[in-house]
Amino acid sequence: MTRVLHVIDRTCDETALQVLNTLRCRLGGDGGSQRACCIDAESLRRAPLQLSGPIVAAPRRLGRWVNWVPLLPRLARDCGAEVLHAWGSEAAAAACSARLPDIPLVITLLDPQTTPDAARWMGALPTRATVVAGSQVIRSRLVAAGAASDRVVVVRGPVDFGAVNQARRDGLRAKVVGEAGPVLLFSGPASREGGHYFALWGAAILQKIMPNLTVILPYDSAERRRLVRFAGRIDAPSLVTLPDPRLTWAELVTCADAFVMPAAGEVCTEPLGMAMGAGLVVVGVAVRSVAEIIADRSNGLLCKNGEPRVLASRVLTALEDGPLRQRVTETARGQAYEVFGVRAFLDNYRRVYENVLAGRPPAQDVHDTAMIA
């Protein structure tokens, strides 16, 4: 079993942490082969809410080596790390500064908004560095920025169907939203780039004809706090529900009737798989990263832009057109098993680790399941 030291920075949000937790738990069943450390206070605050098992604080120093983490070489040595796995561009820079040339570096990037930062340090990465991207959008942006195409692979998932079923059996929806309905689950954490402001405007329009409608806004961010204030100013405080930050996407999707992915730009699409697998009708803006997964009226509903009235109309169709909703959710659920299955996710990551350790091309036998499904 490959021994891995995961290095986490403040850009590693709740979605990435959940992906890491699945990887860590499923590949590190002995409890010792998948260690994790946080290099800043923000990641150390957030990570324990989503990661099981011990997490080590390894604070970085900003100085001559920019993102130098003094403890990193010792942590790698103590756990016998064969691979350093960075979660975020700052973690990757810290891993490079540790100067461990005999340990290959793997970097996971799930949010397309991080690729401009990634492009700036891509040229400085050691030749053995491999990037695992969450979408073809991220891969194409990195390659356009100068990254070697054979060093960037795409891995999708994972969707924990067992956790979804368990949350349903536990009656989590009643605990989170009570008797409210219909319930919209927004992608998160909310951001300007994510288009959440316009989507909340659309939900406020719908609440005029559906008084019990509520929106779940998961995970804290400056934009979410702004949206809560906005809901108060338009006299719609009941519109927004703020769930416990410890809830995972597998739990959140059981509390809603539709999943809304507004997008003012390219977005992280990992939560889409969980919504599809849970049988939620997906409504999204047709940016490239979303359109990689969702086809309009096939496995979800798409609109060309996130203008509030357009989104409101699409969501209303999703909620009221029963035959359409049944057709697209059945298609989406079947695709979720093929594209976002945990087994394929683990197999792909296992091959990446084995390839970099053996000196083979990182992409050998690693398949983007969204492209072959």
The residue ranges of every structural domain in the chain are 4-158+341-372, 161-339
pLDDT tens for each residue of 89-111:
888 888 887 778 889 999 999 98
Of 22-36, 63-77, 113-127, 194-208, the poorest mean pLDDT is in: 113-127
**Could you tell me what percent of the chain has a pLDDT over 70?**
93
C-alpha closest to that of 265 among 192, 189, 188:
192
Of 55-64, 253-262, 335-344, the poorest mean pLDDT is in: 55-64
* pLDDT of 126 above 60: no
This prediction's pTM:
0.94
Please enumerate, as own/partner, the contacts of 170-174 that have beta carbons within 8 Å and a separation of 24 or more: 172/247, 172/251, 172/254, 172/255, 173/254, 173/255, 173/256
SS3 for 109? strand
Owner of token pair 């049944």: 326
* pLDDT of 32 above 60: no
Owner of token pair 């405080």: 237
> What per-residue confidence (pLDDT) applies to 90?
86
The DSSP code sequence of 72-89 is HHHHHHHTT-SEEEEESH
> What per-residue confidence (pLDDT) applies to 86?
94
**Cα 102 to Cα 96: distance, rounded to the nearest angstrom:** 12
Question: Which whole number is the average pLDDT over 153-170?
Answer: 92
**Cα 37 to Cα 28: distance, rounded to the nearest angstrom:** 15
> What per-residue confidence (pLDDT) applies to 289?
93
> What per-residue confidence (pLDDT) applies to 212?
94
Query: Options 3.30.830.10, 3.90.1150.180, 3.40.50.2000, 3.40.50.300; which CATH number does 161-339 get?
Result: 3.40.50.2000
The CATH superfamily assigned to 4-158+341-372 is Glycogen Phosphorylase B; (3.40.50.2000)
pLDDT tens for each residue of 175-189:
999 998 899 999 999
pLDDT band at 248 (very low <50, low <70, confident <90, very high): very high
> What per-residue confidence (pLDDT) applies to 30?
47
> What per-residue confidence (pLDDT) applies to 269?
92
Question: Which whole number is the average pLDDT over 312-334?
Answer: 96
**Cα 344 to Cα 130: distance, rounded to the nearest angstrom:** 19
Please enumerate, as own/partner, the contacts of 315-321 that have beta carbons within 8 Å and a separation of 24 or more: 315/184, 315/202, 315/203, 315/206, 315/258, 315/260, 315/283, 316/206, 318/258, 318/281, 318/283, 319/182, 319/210, 319/257, 319/258, 319/281
> What per-residue confidence (pLDDT) applies to 335?
93
pLDDT tens for each residue of 256-272:
999 999 988 899 999 99
In this structure, are strands 130-133 and 56-57 parallel, antiparallel, or unpaired?
unpaired
Question: Which whole number is the average pLDDT over 31-35?
Answer: 74
Same CATH topology for 4-158+341-372 and 161-339: the answer is yes
The residues pairing with 284 across neighbouring beta strands, listed in sequence order, are 261, 302
**Cα 44 to Cα 52: distance, rounded to the nearest angstrom:** 13
As given in the structure block, the two tokens for residue 92 are: 């990757």
- 364 phi and psi, to 5 degrees? -65, 120
Question: Which whole number is the average pLDDT over 187-199?
Answer: 93
> What per-residue confidence (pLDDT) applies to 74?
92
Question: Which whole number is the average pLDDT over 66-71?
Answer: 77
